[in-house]
Chain A
Amino acid sequence: MTKRFLSRRELLQTAGGGIAGLALADLLRGASTTGTERLNPLALRAPQFPAKAKSIISIFCYGGVSQVDTFDPKPELLKRQGETMAGKGNIVVSQGNPGGLMPSPWEFQQHGQSGIHVSSLFPHVAKKVDDIALIRSMYCISNDHAPALFQMNTGFIQAGHPSMGSWVTYGLGTENQNLPAFVVFADWRGGPIGGAPNWSNGFMPAAYQGTPFRSAGDPIVDLKPPSDMTPKRQQRWLKLLGALNEEHLKKNPADSELAARIQSYELAYQMQFHATDAVDLKKETAATRELYGVDEQPTDYVGRQCLMARRLVERGVRFVQIYSGGGNFTESWDAHFDLELNHGMHCKETDKPIAGLLTDLKSRGLLDSTLVIWHGEFGRMPISQRMNGRDHNPHGFSVWMAGGGVKGGTVVGATDEYGYAAVENKKSVNDLHATILHQMGLDHEKLTYFYNGRNMRLTDVSGEVIREVLA
């Protein structure tokens, strides 16, 4: 480790006794280092133990996916259609009255070597089951969108905590300084409820926040100068700025914070080209575009996002999150009514792109180092709501992972006979987060950030790695 002149106490406070040696530009405060070391909070850092994955792609089906219509078949629902769901205690619904048990309108079939059941909603993803580790026994705390989203993203139901992507970039830095380390793609219908706190750095420095990427045009707001600012003009401008800043630095040449800010312009300049190149799908072959469903409807939008995600992780971006669904009700997976229309539409939009992503990552040898996670913020009820919809259900839902050292063709846990609540080998959101960090070579108990009097963790005070899914 290079000498940074942090006191032991200060080090412990930042790293919380965890990854000692983390030096944040922020932390040096007014202090300076000797030498010309240029500080960077996103500098590449070694994992705490050998990592399986280098990057994460999270596909967040915002609104809540119905497990009993996708990855968790429940024949009991057809047998007892219209009957009350008895013996499950008080059924709490988020709106209206609980209805009777509602069968899935979709057929389930076994797929692949592993014979995992997947419904006809996901014909393409179904072909990938042997690469997928499916957890059917997830549960979370809240049946309300915003808190559940926050919990899935940050581990806490309240806003204000750093998101998964922040924790991972805080722990590992990034492999490509010319691109943001943590990228978020929103649905074209709008962002998820709760907004920016979903990819917030919380109490950490802003360096760890997610950068929203647009799916068309310039990927980042303010990435490019106005059109009349030619590259030549901009270079000349940067030279002027650099010269004036160096003049100022002469007084305090050892100030690494000032030096880091000078360097940040160089990085920003580079980012303009690298970020544009990273999302330039024209550079992909027709066959690849076809694989993701780009140029066809309704898969074009998510297809583009998935393809961009691959290009980003290929370039060393640490964490990419893609939201499917935005806004309210039908715009998201929030199928309170007309489940067939809702899930039918969202699955069609995402099935081929997601399968294409898995295929493409694998064929490029990237799947081993990329952890793909597919999830919502909670599941849906086996009983009906408003006749033909399903209400929120935090008690049981399905999540899957692929790549990144995950054992394909695995099924973990089970829900009860109706798919209402996880009953066998239950897994919490903390467990999921612990597992994700583990694949990245980070111990969820040791990745800490000192704030407000204690060492904060993504997993708060619980969570166990889900060993069953590890290859």
Chain B
Amino acid sequence: MLTGGERGPALDPGHSDKSRLYRFAAGLDKPQMPPGKTLTDGELKVLRQWIDTGAPMDAAKPEPGENEKAALAKLEERPITPAEKNYWAFRPVVRPVVPARTKNPVDAFLNVALKSKGLKPAPPAERRALIRRAYLDLWGIPPTPEAVDRFLADKSPDAFSKVVEELLASPNYGERWARHWLDVVRYADSSGFEFDTNKPNVWRFRDYVIDAFNHDKPYDQFVKEQLAGDEIYPDSKEARIATGYLRLGLENNIKNEMTKLDELDDVVSTTTGAFLGMTVQCARCHNHKFDPIPQKDYYQIQAVFYPAKPADFKLAPKEQVDHYNAEVKRVDALIAPVKKQITELEKPYRDKIIADKKAKLPAYLLTALQTPPEKRSEGQKLNVIQVEKSLVADEKELKPALSAGDLEKRTELQKQIKALEDTKPKAPDATLSIKEDGPKAPESHFLHRGSPGQPGSVMQPGVLTVASWNKYEFPAPPADAKTSYRRRGFAEWVANAQNPLSSRVMINRIWQQHFGEGIVRTPNNFGKMGEPPTHPELLDWLASEFVRTGWSVKSMHRLLMNSEAYQRSSDDIEANNKIDIENRLLWRMPRRRVEAEVIRDSILAVAGNLVEERGGPAVFPYIDPSLFQASSARTWPGKPDTDPSTWRRSIYVFTKRSIPLPMLDIFDKPDSVSSCARRNRSTIAPQSLIMMNNAFIALEAEKFAARLQKLAGADPQAQVDEAFVLALGRHPKQAEAERAVAYIQGDPHGLADFCKAVFNLNEFVYFP
């Protein structure tokens, strides 16, 4: 306030009449402050007196005998009150008593709430709808007709449980559920910013997440591997790959203190949102406005990640890496003399071009050049440096200047270099990771107002104070450690069963994917500005159950999917609509559009075209070039729609931060800039344009038609039936069948167009 912003100081101590702060508050100048509120005369008087007496600021004013630094340090403290600790999300998870005897405890909790509001639960879903729901949910593609028939034929009471088991046992499951986590950690294959360069090997992290879900990796281990895999599991390559988590954010090609702080902020923000459901980033410049998160917590958590620096980790054995380095060195030594020959050949031509340019310089620059160095003014010195550095001959000028003989000679030399380059061995396998400079961490500071220009105390690593059950001690690293063990300490705190947030936050995410909305509908914000849980006891019971099962995500799927609530019909009940139209209490299964990836993957699967190849580098489906028009540094090597390399599940599609795939983007795939806890679900005309007119959709419709002809022959009636069974998991109603058959018969393109219509059906893109 005293140094002032862009418009000068807000405060002139001793002179309220000259202080903008007072003038705005008193309405003497515009704008009125605070906005939309006028201070009372009494309040204005206090403000005036305070400024006129020199605007004393006790917080930063040293006490007698105290130095300024200590006074400033006091500003860093912001104690947590017992009442703040007693907020629901920070209280320990205590396993509540299940309120009734039901087959599945989940229903006991839900039914209490339904009963209290007089809501009648919807009847069980039809079996065909149920199995389709489970497939879209766990695999993200529709069930095959055989799977549907098997389920219908299975009259045993645990028929549906068996379906769930089958789905969980397939690698298709990981390819679907990994995507949810990738949203949360804002996964992308490129770094954003000006050049948006590709992140090498980042796909290994994507595959790691897929494997983690497929192998039901205990969630606490999953947390520890991502935050501190190198420190906790030093011998595990997998854990190393997991630390790629720390490299997923936007990475600026410009490196300075501010960009480093911004990248750290991104890590702090994503980490506390993803693992703790807290908006700690709001405390970068001041204490959190709504939640008991001191600014100091922000900087202590920042200190956890401060020592980590980007570094690739070689997965290949040491001998292979050594061999590679030696070979590169050897070949480079062979290339160097050839390069020298080219330089010598070009020199006379370059010199001439530069001399010609010099002759054409404006007078004042020429004067500067001609002035003897010792007599040049300061400005002339600057100009001469520029001229000398800027007068160059570029390839565009050089090439036409070369004589035919020299041009040929140079081309020959360039060929030699290329041939030598080609003899270099393939780079050894590596993964995106981090490194630190040893057990002693570099110092980082509390930053007043978030400004690197106002450093406060040196920060020790810390956790989220309000959520900690004890005064948490970070482990000391062994003397020969390669890292500070700060991330290890933090990860172990997050993954501790006593942590009140970790289990609640994760079980809420799992719940959200099954039921459309979380029990807490703001999954990355369990704070005061988020929504309170609709079923607090259920949330706590599930959190405790999650920990009891050894943080097993698959156990949670079994538990939730085997509930009556999950197996209810999604159809409306008039009477219930009048009481709870938003279906907050889950009297029916919510209807909701499936995600972008599920739409694309389902089309490929139903057309019989989905390539079941798992893992590896990402693929590039076609994007119309006019959508990313060749900026030199950003490219999209798209393959035609007919190229089978692109017929893979959408989780394998390259995520370029500056060039989104329209088909996924338009259906609300998140932008991978910040953590996405819950996707938007919009319905707009451009989505329909793509679904109607895009060449990929048309191609897949033709493939689907060909498949129908193969499976059902030439009879339109049989084709329609087969299409419904494949795409929707049911037979058509008579009216539907008649309509479709008439359509197919009435047009030479009838079958393929009908197939495209199926891809466009609401039923095809909505959870049943």
Contact = CB atoms under 8 A, between A and B. Distances in A.
Contacts of A26: 680-683
A251 B571 contact: yes
B386 to A, nearest CB: 4
Nearest to B656: A195
B749 A100 contact: no
Contact of B683 (A252, A261, A383): A261
Contacts of B693: 222-226, 229
A320 to B, nearest CB: 16
B386 A99 contact: yes
B435 to A, nearest CB: 26
A82 B577 contact: no
Contact of A82 (B379, B624, B667, B733): B379
Contact of B684 (A81, A84, A194, A264): A264
A401 interface: no
A241 B688 CA distance: 12
A96 B382 CA distance: 11
Nearest to A212: B627
Nearest to B756: A237
Given A327-B632, A454-B529, A83 B377 contact: yes
Interface in B711-752: 733, 735-736, 739-740, 743, 746-747, 749
Contacts of A214: 626
B378 interface: yes
Interface string A182-217: 000010111111111100101111110101101000
Interface in A364-395: 383-388
A219 to B, nearest CB: 10
B689 interface: yes
B698 interface: yes
A44 B427 CA distance: 57
B110 interface: no
Contacts of B377: 82-84
Interface residues of B, number: 110
B666 interface: yes
Contacts, number: 305
B414 interface: no
A255 B365 CA distance: 74
A264 B383 contact: no
Contacts of A139: 6
A290 interface: no
Given A81-B364, A204-B680, A205-B668, A30 B673 contact: no
B567 to A, nearest CB: 16
B385 interface: yes
Interface string A302-335: 0000000000000000000000001110000000
B761 A245 contact: yes
Interface in B280-295: 282, 289-290
A267 B630 CA distance: 31
Interface in B4-61: 6-7, 30-31, 35
A49 to B, nearest CB: 14
Contacts of A243: 739
Interface in B747-767: 747, 749, 753-754, 756-757, 760-763, 766
Contact of B659 (A30, A96, A195): A195
A228 B698 CA distance: 12
Interface in B344-367: 361-362, 364-365, 367
A223 B379 contact: no
Given A387-B390, A445-B35, A453 B525 contact: yes
Given A41-B684, A146-B193, A196 B660 contact: yes
B120 interface: no
B685 interface: yes
Contact of B688 (A29, A211, A251, A265): A265
A76 to B, nearest CB: 13
Contacts of B527: 453
Interface string B381-406: 01101110111000000000000000
A272 B378 CA distance: 63
B260 interface: no
A249 B571 CA distance: 10
A195 B634 contact: yes
Q: Which of A196, A248, A257, A464 has the most CB of B within 10 A?
A: A196
A159 interface: yes
A158 B193 CA distance: 8
Contacts of A224: 693
A228 B516 CA distance: 40
A85 B382 CA distance: 11
Contact of A262 (B627, B662, B762): B762
A233 B254 CA distance: 54
Contact of B386 (A202, A272, A384): A384
B363 to A, nearest CB: 9
A196 B659 contact: yes
Interface in A332-377: 337
B341 interface: no
Contacts of B683: 25-26, 39, 41, 207, 257, 260-261, 264
Given A159-B657, A221-B627, A387 B194 contact: no
Which range contains the number of A residues in contact with the other chain? 35 or more
Contacts of A7: 582
B248 to A, nearest CB: 14
Nearest to B589: A30
Contacts of A254: 572, 577
Given A26-B681, A197-B671, A226 B698 contact: yes
Interface in A25-41: 25-26, 28-34, 39, 41
Nearest to A4: B581
A164 interface: no
Contacts of A445: 35
B67 interface: no
B454 interface: no
Contacts of A229: 693
Contacts of A147: 193
Contacts of A454: 279, 282, 289, 529
Nearest to B728: A248
A327 B682 CA distance: 32
Contact of A206 (B674, B682, B736, B763): B682
A88 interface: no
Contacts of A211: 686
Given A98-B382, A224-B693, A453 B671 contact: no
B517 to A, nearest CB: 6
A341 B685 CA distance: 43
Given A214-B626, A224-B693, A233-B753, A145 B194 contact: yes
B477 to A, nearest CB: 33
Q: Which of A98, A146, A245, A257 has the most CB of B within 10 A?
A: A146
Interface in B587-611: 590-593
Contacts of A251: 571
Contacts of B35: 445
A262 B762 CA distance: 8
Which 9 A/B pairs are nearest by Cβ-Cβ distance? A30-B590, A195-B658, A160-B673, A268-B688, A100-B379, A205-B682, A267-B685, A453-B279, A83-B379
20 contacts: A13-B531, A30-B517, A30-B583, A31-B581, A82-B367, A97-B382, A99-B382, A100-B382, A158-B262, A222-B662, A222-B690, A226-B693, A241-B757, A252-B591, A264-B684, A268-B685, A271-B686, A327-B632, A384-B383, A453-B522
Given A5-B581, A245-B763, 10 more contacts: A99-B386, A101-B379, A146-B193, A195-B634, A206-B682, A221-B624, A222-B690, A233-B749, A268-B689, A453-B522
Interface of A: 5, 7, 9-10, 13, 24-26, 28-34, 39, 41-42, 80-84, 96-101, 139, 144-147, 158-160, 177, 180, 186, 188-197, 200, 202-207, 209, 211-212, 214, 220-226, 228-229, 233-234, 236-237, 240-241, 243-245, 247-249, 251-252, 254-255, 257-258, 260-262, 264-265, 267-269, 271-272, 326-328, 337, 383-388, 426, 428, 445, 452-454, 464, 467
